[in-house]
């Protein structure tokens, strides 16, 4: 790896180093922490956060933001619960409808952002209110899902040594691979980076800006809907207030993963490591036993701060080098 | 005068429509009664309930005018409330309690201001840090418990009445008056607007934009601290989990409804207040009409998108162009 490539990857490397340090520190303190089962749980317990964060990564890479991801997870979980329990839809109908709905919802927001040059922050804030409100209109109570889902989670799993890779983790891993390929080896992925780097240049180069911008919001909506499906698989229930505040955790994971909120810079791999850091902190706090859950928020805040200052320092260095 | 009317036209029309709707369809909406020397009625109730968001939106307006945004105000409300509740339950004098609550809030604002102004962190990220960890800090302070207290003079902030009106309204009027005076009588308003309009040009013109940002984030947090004291004294308890939860979004919404663009520049303090009252009127209307409360969020969503569309030049061009061609 030459020097420039190394420098470009400093944020990602720093994230990986922090992730490893946290993991090793926790493993030294709590020997059971280093087991395969705990490691698999990082993926299983954070699968819906991770899937939503991966979709969000593309939006942020394009220079936008999506605040609606948590609300869409809640809406999809309620919809699935009602569809399968009350309206007796088959799972093979309900899930595709939910995913298509998520994609459509995202593309509508993308259309507003692109066509009328509206600020993405406000449009997706509206989307968040709308999805959360609609979910609460559908049902205020948590609905257990007794049909289909437990059969799916029983059937789809991979035994790994003395542990089992559950359905939620498998879906997360598939999405990771998909997002990685999309960002690295597809025309869409390259275009997202180009638009995030400089939208005007991208337009002048003749890139299909409209298609790409609407596409990233559609992708994020789809991923959020998929995260909603995974939430249902994970909890076997649907709840209108599910995943409240998930958008903030997802943004934090993306930023910790080294993606710049200004767009154009960042990686899918970084987001995955960011989600893993979330999982390690939460699990370590559970292992510790006496620390309360609000320490998670404080540690995440401190990490956010540290990573942003690190990114600033790297940018300042680059600026000096240009001078 | 006509310029400010032009700016306030749309939010005022929207608010008037909401009031007319209620005047016709909600019996007793404009009914006032006097009990124990205090005025009661739906309109007073709306103003009283809107007070925290009104205060937040005043501070938020300054921040948004500089081209920034402050996501941490809800968390700052929780911290200020927690600090005040802890101190008041230890029987400290009320001025100390209020000073500590507001002082912690101002400190939080300076923290945001330093990150944005000195370290050049994008405002969304900089304030996201405090939004996420601030609530954690508030929960840490209260040990995750709801801290209750009894103190008549401290409770006056959220529950007292002055000249027959809830004291919260007086607080809003005072803050509005101070900020309006600063805007109209000093160069400070100009500094804020030019920082938001073109930061580079402002710096070359000799404006210390870093200091301007530091001050507006400080003022915004101070407003949030005051709002935190109101909601804490209103329920006589500090609830770190729920105090001010999601209110930052309402404050941003109120500011944008009021005619201040998220891109920064010209700002409308009165417009933001109207925006905050409009949001509360919609909420109260939905409650009194007996419609499902959950509809509030959907209505808010529609309002956000409509306001955005009305402010979008591209949208207006798309709507009005055909007419212009026809004429």
Instruction: Kindly list the residues from chain A whose CB atom is less than 8 angstroms away from the CB atom of residue B140.
Output: 292, 294-295, 298
Phi, psi of A299 (to 5 degrees): -60, -45
CB contact (8 A) between residue B312 and residue A118 = yes
What is the C-alpha separation between B5 and A17, in angstroms, rounded? 57
CB contact (8 A) between residue A294 and residue B132 = no
- Looking only at the bridges linking them, the beta strands covering A237-238 and B33-35 are unpaired
Beta-bridge partners for A143: A238
pLDDT tens per residue, range A13-49: 888 988 999 999 999 999 888 888 899 999 999 999 9
- The verdict on ipTM greater than 0.85 is no
Contact by Cβ (8 Å): B260, B59: no
What is the C-alpha separation between B157 and B146, in angstroms, rounded? 19
Of the residues A65, A67, A122, the best mutation for testing chain B's interface (the one with the most B CB atoms within 10 Å of its CB) is A122
Helices (H), chain B: 2-25, 42-65, 73-89, 94-113, 123-142, 152-159, 167-185, 188-197, 199-204, 209-235, 247-257, 269-288, 295-311, 313-326
CB proximity A72 to B under 8 Å: no
- Closest Cα in chain B to A136: B294
pLDDT tens per residue, range B37-93: 778 888 888 999 999 999 999 999 999 999 999 999 999 999 999 999 999 999 899
Please measure the distance between the N-terminal and C-terminal CA atoms of chain B and give it in whole angstroms. 31
pLDDT beneath 70, residues of chain A: 1-7, 315, 317-323
pLDDT tens per residue, range B107-133: 999 999 999 998 888 898 889 889 888
Task: Report the b/e string of A172-188 with b at 16+ CB within 10 A.
Answer: bbebbeebbebbeeeee
> Nearest C-alpha of chain B: how many angstroms from A291?
10
Window 59-78 of B: residues touching A by CB (8 A cutoff) are 69
| pLDDT score at A323 | 45
**pLDDT exceeds cutoff 50 at B327:** no
Specify which of B173-177, B197-201, B310-314 reaches the highest per-range mean pLDDT: B173-177
Name, in order, each residue with C-beta under 8 angstroms of A299's C-beta and a sequence gap of 6 or more. Answer: A281
pLDDT tens per residue, range B260-291: 888 888 899 999 999 999 999 988 888 887 77
Phi, psi of B147 (to 5 degrees): -95, 115
| pLDDT score at B151 | 87
Instruction: Show the tokens assigned to A249.
Output: 């955790």
Q: Nearest-CA neighbor of B123 among B75, B205, B60, B182?
A: B60
Q: How confident is the model at residue B1 (pLDDT cuts 50, 70, 90)?
A: very low
CB contact (8 A) between residue A294 and residue B256 = no
Which residue is it, tokens 């980076």? A193
Residue A29: other Cβ atoms inside 10 A: 11
What is the C-alpha separation between B95 and B272, in angstroms, rounded? 29
- pLDDT over 70 percentage in chain B: 96
Reduced 3-state DSSP string for B217-230: HHHHHHHHHHHHHH
What is the C-alpha separation between A136 and A74, in angstroms, rounded? 9
Instruction: Kindly list the residues from chain A whose CB atom is less than 8 angstroms away from the CB atom of residue B252.
Output: 122, 125
- Closest Cα in chain A to B143: A292
Reduced to 3 states (helix: H, G, I; strand: E, B; else coil), residue B237 is strand
Reduced 3-state DSSP string for B70-93: CCCHHHHHHHHHHHHHHHHHCCCC
* DSSP state letter for A34: G
Instruction: Show the tokens assigned to B277.
Output: 């009252």
Contact by Cβ (8 Å): A127, A109: yes
Contact by Cβ (8 Å): B7, B268: yes
Which segments within chain A are labelled E, that is strand?
A: 143-144, 158-160, 163-165, 237-238
B223/A247: higher pLDDT:
B223
Inter-CA distances, A261 with A65, A301, B196, Å: 8, 16, 19
B191/B312: higher pLDDT:
B191
Looking at every residue in chain A, the average pLDDT score rounds to 89
Residue B38: other Cβ atoms inside 10 A: 15
DSSP for A163-196, please give it. Answer: EEE-HHHHHHHHHHHHHHHHHHHSHHHHHHHHHH
Instruction: Kindly list the residues from chain A whose CB atom is less than 8 angstroms away from the CB atom of residue B125.
Output: 255, 261, 304, 308
What is the C-alpha separation between B21 and A82, in angstroms, rounded? 35
* DSSP state letter for B119: S
> Nearest C-alpha of chain B: how many angstroms from A303?
9
**pLDDT exceeds cutoff 70 at B326:** no
Q: Which of A115, A130, A252 sits opposite B301 (nearest CB)?
A: A130
Residue A206's region, left for phi above 0, alpha for psi from -120 to 50, else beta, is left
Residue A157: other Cβ atoms inside 10 A: 15
């Amino acid at each position: 790896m030459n020097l420039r490539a190394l420098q470009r990857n400093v944020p990602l490397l720093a994230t990986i180093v922090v992730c490893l340090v946290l993991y090793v520190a926790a493993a030294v303190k709590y020997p059971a922490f280093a087991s395969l089962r705990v490691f698999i749980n990082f993926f299983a317990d954070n699968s819906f956060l991770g899937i939503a964060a991966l979709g969000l990564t593309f939006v942020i890479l394009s220079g936008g933001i999506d605040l609606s991801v948590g609300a869409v997870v809640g809406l999809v979980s309620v919809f699935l619960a009602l569809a399968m329990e009350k309206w007796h839809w088959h799972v093979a109908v309900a899930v595709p409808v939910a995913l298509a709905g998520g994609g459509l919802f995202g593309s509508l927001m993308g259309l507003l952002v692109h066509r009328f040059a509206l600020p993405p922050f406000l449009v997706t804030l509206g989307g968040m209110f709308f999805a959360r409100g609609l979910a609460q209109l559908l049902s205020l109570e948590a609905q257990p899902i007794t049909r289909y889902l437990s059969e799916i989670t029983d059937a789809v799993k991979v035994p790994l040594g003395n542990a089992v890779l559950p359905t939620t983790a498998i879906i997360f891993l598939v999405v990771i691979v998909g997002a990685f390929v999309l960002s690295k080896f597809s025309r869409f992925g390259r275009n997202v980076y180009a638009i995030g780097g400089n939208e005007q240049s991208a337009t002048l180069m003749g890139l299909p800006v409209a298609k790409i911008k609407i596409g990233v919001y559609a992708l994020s909506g789809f991923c959020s809907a998929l995260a909603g499906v995974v939430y249902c698989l994970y909890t076997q229930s649907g709840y209108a207030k599910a995943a409240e505040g998930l958008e903030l955790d997802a943004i934090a994971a993306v930023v910790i993963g080294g993606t710049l909120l200004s767009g154009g810079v960042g990686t899918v791999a970084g987001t995955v490591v960011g989600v893993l850091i979330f999982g390690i902190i939460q699990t370590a706090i559970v292992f510790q036993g006496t620390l309360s859950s609000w320490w998670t928020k404080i540690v995440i805040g401190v990490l956010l701060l540290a990573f942003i200052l690190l990114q600033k320092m790297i940018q300042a260095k680059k600026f000096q080098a240009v001078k | 005068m006509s310029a400010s009317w032009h700016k306030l036209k749309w939010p005022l029309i929207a608010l008037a429509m909401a009031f007319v709707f209620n005047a016709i369809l909600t019996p007793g909406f404009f009914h006032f009664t006097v009990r124990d020397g205090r005025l009661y009625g739906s309109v007073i109730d709306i103003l009283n309930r809107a007070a925290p968001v009104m205060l937040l939106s005043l501070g938020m307006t300054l921040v948004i005018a500089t081209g920034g945004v402050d996501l941490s105000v809800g968390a700052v409300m929780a911290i200020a409330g927690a600090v005040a509740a802890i101190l008041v339950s230890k029987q400290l004098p009320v001025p100390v309690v209020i000073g500590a609550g507001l002082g912690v809030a101002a400190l939080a604002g300076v923290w945001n201001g330093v990150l944005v102004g000195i370290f050049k962190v994008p405002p969304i990220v900089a304030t996201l840090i405090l939004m996420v960890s601030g609530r954690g800090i508030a929960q840490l302070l209260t040990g995750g418990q709801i801290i209750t207290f009894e103190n008549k003079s401290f409770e006056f902030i959220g529950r007292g009445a002055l000249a027959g009106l809830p004291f919260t309204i007086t607080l809003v009027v005072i803050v509005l008056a101070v900020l309006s005076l600063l805007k109209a009588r000093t160069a400070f308003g100009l500094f804020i607007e030019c920082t938001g309009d073109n930061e580079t040009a402002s710096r070359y013109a000799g404006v210390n934009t870093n200091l301007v940002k530091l001050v507006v984030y400080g003022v915004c947090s101070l407003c949030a601290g005051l709002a935190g004291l109101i909601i804490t004294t209103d329920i006589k308890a500090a609830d770190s989990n729920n105090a001010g939860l999601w209110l930052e979004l309402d404050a941003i919404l109120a500011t944008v409804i009021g005619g201040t663009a998220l891109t920064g520049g010209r700002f409308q303090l009165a417009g933001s207040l109207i925006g905050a009252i409009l949001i509360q009127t919609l909420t109260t209307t939905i409650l009194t009409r007996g419609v499902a409360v959950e509809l509030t969020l959907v209505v808010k969503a529609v309002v956000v998108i409509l306001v955005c569309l009305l402010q979008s030049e591209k949208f207006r061009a798309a709507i009005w162009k055909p007419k212009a061609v026809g004429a």
